[in-house]
Structure 1
Amino acid sequence: MAILKQDLSFLKNNVKQVDAEMFTSKIRGIMDSHAPQTSRTVTDRTSSPWFSVESKAVKQARRGTERKWNKSGLEIDKQIYLYHKKQVRGINLTAKREYYNLKFSEVQNSKDFFNLSNELLGKDKNTKLPKSIKSELLPDTFGDFFIEKIEKLRHTLVSDFNHDEDFDDSQSDASTLSTLSPVTNDDVKTTILSAVSKHCDLNPMPIYLLKNC
């Protein structure tokens, strides 16, 4: 942190000569020298609805025994790994069976039954298109629908705009902002430090780091 503060001292000592573009450039350079940006690939796997806490625990235990076996190469570690592998398969099968048994017991009609069956069998849902229109006419029908909808929206916006032009604000009692009270550097600093330390990708440096420096 001390080295980071030292690197940022240039900006603090030359605050009047630093514009927004230079500030961003300097901050990004400092961040690249202290914490170079790296990238990594993260696989996002959605857990199955029947995947329970117990399933997660035995799966983690299996991975631990697998790593130990790969590292040692001993037969005993291999047998321990195979035991945990079999245990994971059995627990997952039981959890999946109980989940779908409960789901089927809650089915109220044939539609829900077939939907649940298709989900269990991994069948994709077919896109339902209107049967009253010939398939060769569907693209033009959809296109005409959206064109007409856009034209209606434009007509509504133009009508609202013309209505606003006719509005006379001379009789409005709304107050106007004519002057601004001057603020000092301490006022700005106090406001910034008291604000919530939020951060987005557009910021060259995390706000909490900048505040601490």
Structure 2
Amino acid sequence: MYDDVELYDKFRFRRHDILTIVDELRDDLEYPDTRQGPLPATLQVVLICDADMRIMNCTAICQVVGFSARFQNPEGIAAVCSIRVATKIIDCVNTRASETLSVTPRNARTSCTTRVIVMCRPPNSCFGTFLDDVSTVLLIAGTHPTETVVCGDFNTKYGEPTCTDAVNLADLLDTAGFTQHVTGATHERGSKLDLVITAKTSHPIATAVKPISQITDRYAVECELLQSKPSRLKRHITYRRQSAINKNIFAADLRLFNLNADEADPVVLLAAYDTCLRTIIDAHAPLMSRTITVRPTTLWHTKDLTEVKQALRRAERLWRNSSLSVHRHIFKDRRNIFRKLLKTARSDYYRSEISKAGGNMRFIYGITDSLLSRKVNMTLPEVADESPSAFATRFQRYFKDKTEVLCQNRSPLPADDTPTVVGAHFDVFEHAGICHKIV
């Protein structure tokens, strides 16, 4: 069934491993048209994973995230991503003579992304129409805000001056400002059929792109991209281990605490009190320091989620140790339960928060920013020729002058038109007179 399988990856997979990825993870295909028939005979597999990953079981760490087989020919593209790639955004590019799939791996902790557009040209397609498809893809790659890598099976002998199609493709890439990175033949007959294309000015290619292990009549192509994981924010904190304090001994030391009662200055008494109390606390719980990693707070995380996740990890360890299919199915069932529970917990949390907001749009906008992971940074005006302190002084003087001008220009208060009561006075009562009036 599978006559040709191509893999873009830095690891040396066996052909059986590649077929296992596609066959056993067929349920994870996100496009509905992939479930309507068998997979094509010729399949191009693109694997996106971390560079430091060590793969023991392919199906354990990968999932099929995209599939394209629209034409009536035995050609197709499958995109396989590591589960350590946090987020995948899959979209298709409309082409007429080639299979095209666009995959954008995204790390949840950073906004850095690299778009990967995979193309596969069937051998019987018109090369002129295929050049139009390549031109469309290059236009999308040039206008996309993130760095884009175009790769795939172009089915043309690139680099050979006697091949007219290859010369036309090279001229198109040079005119559009793109370059090709694969060095060496990707076919057993010495032809370069598989290409990796990026912009000339800036590209995320880290090392030389070269063929590695041979699979049937093709070679797998290794392409390493510059998309390192961002380091988490570190914070230096100081703390005391208050739980280690012996309450009885601490109370006894407090009783021995004595201040100089003859001191009349309250500032001196307060400083002496603070010094003595700090000495006692340092003796029982000395000040310690450490560097911690700041992680985001998940307010919707509940105790039920923790218990389900612990059961999921136990099932995963059991499956990895035994490698049995029954344990794998148990792990997948518990994984699906955890995903559904996590989605429900998040939905319930944000639903309750929005209901609490009522008509407070400012609070709702804050919830929206947290959902979209947008950080609102305070933007101050640029200060070119003065120091921050001078700018702050000028800022304060501006509002002070404004206030003084408003006070000077204010209209005078109207005169008091209340008539004065003539002959009004308070009576002065004697002590006896007050008692008489009360009686």
Task: Confirm or deny a common fold (TM above 0.5).
Answer: no
Q: Normalized per residue, which structure has more strand?
A: 2
> Quick check: which has more Rg, 1 or 2?
2
Which TM-score band applies after superposition, normalised by the shorter structure? 0.3 to 0.5
Instruction: Point out which structure has higher relative CO (alpha carbons under 8 A, 6+ apart).
Output: 1
| TM-score of the aligned structures, taking structure 2 as reference length | 0.22
Q: Normalized per residue, which structure has more helix?
A: 1
| TM-score of the aligned structures, taking structure 1 as reference length | 0.43
